[in-house]
Amino acid sequence: MGEFVQLIVSGTATGSIYALAALGFTLLWQASGTINFAQGEFVMLPAFAMLFFVSFIGAPLWLAFLLTCVVAMLVLGYGFKRGIVDPLIRHGVIPLVIATLGLAIGLKSIVKAGYSAEAHPFPSPFPAGQFVLGGINVSYADIGTLLLAGLIVISLQAFLNKTVTGRAMQACAQNTDAARVLGIDVPRMVLYVFLINAVLAVVAALLVTPTYLAKFDMGESIGLKAFFAAIIGGFNQTRGALLGGVLIGILENLVGFYVSPAYKEGVALMLFMLVILFRPEGLLGKIEERKV
Amino acid sequence: MKQHPRLAAAIFAFAFTVPALAQQKPIPIVGLMELSGTGATAGTNFDNGVKLAVKEINAAGGILGRKIEYTSMDTQSNPGVAKALAQKAVDQSAYVVMGPVFSGSIIVSMAETKRAEIPNFTGGEAAGITQQGNPYVFRTSFTQSTAMPKVAKYIKDAVKANSVAIVWVNNDFGKGGRDMMAKALDAQGVKVVADIPTDPGQVDFSGAVLKAKQSGADALFVYTNEEESARALRELKKQGYDKPIIGETTLTGQKVIELAGDAANGAVAHVGLTVDAPQPTIKAFDQKFQGEYKYKSDHNGMKGYSGMYVVKAITEKIGKTDSKAFAVAMKGAKISTKDHPGVLLDVTFDQNGDLDRESFLVKVENGKQVVTSTLPPAAAK
């Protein structure tokens, strides 16, 4: 029983990282109809940016994290929106999907050329070791990851639900035209979503890279799982992304331990297929009707 | 008939010059390296080792007066790509092929070099590589069947463990090592109480470490590739694993230590080559490698470097760049550091292409490999 709970805890911690990246997927989709298939690379880039600040400037990890947040908001938030999304979104989703797929390949190639294809160590924001909680061994890293990811998600929910700006952003997501009639600055709200997505990617990078190690292709798996998590939970629900991410993290851990690690990577795909077949709107998603 | 002494002289000179010019053509050597994918660490180091040796050899006048033209190609750690690139190397009339480093890749790609009768040096350690009767494949490191008995003996005699948990990577390298280790432990009377396979490129080792902890084994043997070894060590530390952690070659490699950080401290491994060994040839290599690449080489860099010097030694011995003659001369070859310091340690090759030489037991202390003992060549026992 102890091992089962331990696997659930560490699976939830891993899943919460997938959830952060998945949240970005759902937020971008809701606010601007953007599907970003470079989301995994949006996690990989901040990892290398933090490494740069730590290695070359000698900044402590927390400072590197803050600096990276600023850079990410500029490049992965503002730059991505203005440079790629704005010019392409008017042509529909497909050109944007293709563009982000190309962007993912380009980003990987740039990092590979600059940092080599080898993995690089990344400092953990949490101490090593573990403690006993109710007879179960729990690592500081798992608890720290859970707490930080949980804090980010709760703060984001509070921001979206309790603040005027957050409500305005939700209004834009629900009905852009109505929001504009109500005097909401829609482009500004959409930009905020892109900035939030960039910060979520930096937090995901901070939490996942000590385990994944900083490597040019580390985003492939994260991006794919985050996409699956968003679909499983419901692409039009931020809570759904959270559920999808955690579900994948836990099931991967349980299957890897009790069945075989060989099947672990297939868990997200299996779940994704089941959801698409039997509940295409996602576990917490709502059916959307669109006029054609 | 009017004679043209000048024309005759010119033709005469031309007839002798053309072969001489041909002699000066560089020797084409092709590297099939894991420059991306899960084997990027191993392949990049091996490739850098080869390049350093080529640079030195060319600076010293080449082999038999001919420069080496070395080209490395990226297998992407994919056996299928490795096989295709091996064919490309054959098309380029390579004299010798270096790599791939991964056992899974060389097992597939060596069919091409064998068909073309081109000697092929590999960093792969899976026992099966040299057990298929391929006269053109040669190792740059120990075979698992040589290394594992040494590790098993250490586990029995020095660690005094009666039971062991094995964490291994489920590819040709890991499976071969796991089988050899289980056999060697059995011979020592040590019981394997947990047999834990992991996936190539696996990121999360929490389940594997949990299983190892629950097995209650006296020691843990970890046999995975470099990045996975680092992740396993990090997870072992994260979960507070407190039993001896032992490995073979990869576990205490320089890159693993760099990636695992503090988590590597205390890990013990048997290594065929280490830059921390006391031999002057190895010290000199370490200095040159760090000067060239600004980082410390792991065993793969040494394998590539020494492998290239073996090519030089054997080619000079046969006195020509003849691939078939090279392969024949490799059988039973003995190369000493006295004549060829670049081979780093005195080395002998058997009829299968396996090598034998001294090896080391190392322990990671304060982020550095410390050689705790030097073991004699297997044949010396």
Q: Which pLDDT does position A142 carry in this prediction?
A: 87
In this complex, is the C-beta atom of B105 within 8 Å of any C-beta atom belonging to chain A? no
Mean pLDDT of chain B: 91
CA distance B270 to chain A (A): 23
Q: Which pLDDT does position B21 carry in this prediction?
A: 47
In this complex, is the C-beta atom of A260 within 8 Å of any C-beta atom belonging to chain B? yes
In this complex, is the C-beta atom of B211 within 8 Å of any C-beta atom belonging to chain A? yes
Residue spans of beta strands (DSSP E) within chain A: 130-133, 136-139
CA distance A75 to chain B (A): 26
- Cβ of B255 within 8 Å of Cβ of A118? The answer is yes
Spatial distance between the Cα atoms of B222 and A172, rounded to a whole number of angstroms: 53
DSSP SS3 for A90: coil
Residues 209-228 of A with CB under 8 A from B: 210-213, 215, 217, 221
Mean pLDDT over B29-51 rounds to: 93
Tokens at A212, concatenated: 């994944």
Q: Which pLDDT does position B5 carry in this prediction?
A: 57
Residue B126 and residue B152 in contact, taking contact as beta carbons nearer than 8 Å = no
Helix (H) or strand (E) holding B351: none
Mean pLDDT of chain A: 90
pLDDT at B212 over 60: yes
pLDDT band at A202 (very low <50, low <70, confident <90, very high): very high
pLDDT at A242 over 60: yes
Tracing tokens 């988590």 back to the chain, one arrives at: B263
Tokens at B49, concatenated: 């080792």
Q: Which of B170, B231, B238 sits opposite A213 (nearest CB)?
A: B231
pLDDT band at A144 (very low <50, low <70, confident <90, very high): very high
Phi, psi angle pair for A63, to nearest 5°: -70, -40
Please name the residues in contact with B39: beta carbons below 8 A apart, sequence gap of 6 or more. B75, B77, B100, B101, B102, B105, B225
Q: Which of A117, A120, A261 sits opposite B202 (nearest CB)?
A: A261
Helix (H) or strand (E) holding B33: strand B27-33
**In chain A, pLDDT over 90 holds for what percent of residues?**
56
pLDDT band at A1 (very low <50, low <70, confident <90, very high): low
Q: Tell me the chain A residues in contact with residue B204 when contact means C-beta distances shorter than 8 Å.
A: 10, 14, 211, 252-253, 256, 264
Most confident of A65-79, A134-148, A213-227, A270-284: A65-79
Mean pLDDT over A142-164 rounds to: 90
- Cβ of A139 within 8 Å of Cβ of B230? The answer is no
pLDDT at B177 over 80: yes
DSSP SS3 for A119: coil
Predicted confidence (pLDDT) per residue in A38-87, tens digit: 999 999 999 999 999 999 889 999 999 999 999 999 999 999 999 999 99
In this complex, is the C-beta atom of B300 within 8 Å of any C-beta atom belonging to chain A? no
Q: Tell me the chain B residues in contact with residue A3 when contact means C-beta distances shorter than 8 Å.
A: 210, 214
Please name the residues in contact with A161: beta carbons below 8 A apart, sequence gap of 6 or more. A167, A170
Mean pLDDT over B357-361 rounds to: 92
- Cβ of B207 within 8 Å of Cβ of A257? The answer is yes
Spatial distance between the Cα atoms of B281 and B342, rounded to a whole number of angstroms: 7
Closest by Cα among B375, B318, B316, B360 to B342: B316
Mean pLDDT over B183-206 rounds to: 92
Spatial distance between the Cα atoms of B284 and A85, rounded to a whole number of angstroms: 55
Q: Which of B37, B203, B235 sits opposite A212 (nearest CB)?
A: B203
Neighbour count for residue A205 (Cβ, 10 Å): 31
Tokens at A210, concatenated: 């000590």
In this complex, is the C-beta atom of B128 within 8 Å of any C-beta atom belonging to chain A? no
- Cβ of B214 within 8 Å of Cβ of A3? The answer is yes
pLDDT band at B249 (very low <50, low <70, confident <90, very high): confident
pLDDT band at B3 (very low <50, low <70, confident <90, very high): low
Task: Note the helical H segments in A186-286.
Answer: 186-212, 218-233, 238-258, 267-278
- Cβ of B41 within 8 Å of Cβ of A119? The answer is yes
Q: Tell me the chain A residues in contact with residue B261 when contact means C-beta distances shorter than 8 Å.
A: 121, 123
Tracing tokens 């994919």 back to the chain, one arrives at: B78
CA dihedral (B267, B270, B273, B277) positive or negative:
positive
Residue of A nearest to B39 (CA): A118
Mean pLDDT over A105-131 rounds to: 89
- Cβ of B238 within 8 Å of Cβ of A141? The answer is yes
Q: Tell me the chain A residues in contact with residue B234 when contact means C-beta distances shorter than 8 Å.
A: 210-211
Residue of A nearest to B263 (CA): A128
Q: What pairing do the DSSP bridges indicate for beta strands B219-223 and B163-169?
A: parallel
CA distance B136 to chain A (A): 30
CB pairs under 8 A between A and B: 89
Predicted confidence (pLDDT) per residue in A5-22, tens digit: 888 988 998 899 999 999
- Cβ of B207 within 8 Å of Cβ of A253? The answer is yes
Task: Note the helical H segments in chain B.
Answer: 5-23, 40-59, 79-91, 103-115, 144-157, 172-188, 206-215, 226-238, 254-260, 280-293, 299-318, 323-330
Q: Which pLDDT does position B196 carry in this prediction?
A: 94
What ipTM was reported for this prediction?
0.79
pLDDT at B1 over 50: no
Q: Which of A14, A137, A265 sits opposite B239 (nearest CB)?
A: A137
pLDDT band at B201 (very low <50, low <70, confident <90, very high): confident
Name which of A44, A54, A109, A118 to mutate to probe chain B: the one with the most chain B Cβ atoms within 10 A of its Cβ.
A118
Tokens at B65, concatenated: 């007066």
Name which of B203, B205, B300 to mutate to probe chain A: the one with the most chain A Cβ atoms within 10 A of its Cβ.
B203
In this complex, is the C-beta atom of A160 within 8 Å of any C-beta atom belonging to chain B? no
Spatial distance between the Cα atoms of A165 and A159, rounded to a whole number of angstroms: 8
Closest by Cα among B76, B255, B323 to A117: B76
- C-alpha dist (Å) from residue B273 to A34, A192, B101, B351, B358: 52, 54, 15, 22, 9
Q: Is the whole-model pTM more than 0.95? A: no
Mean pLDDT over A198-221 rounds to: 93
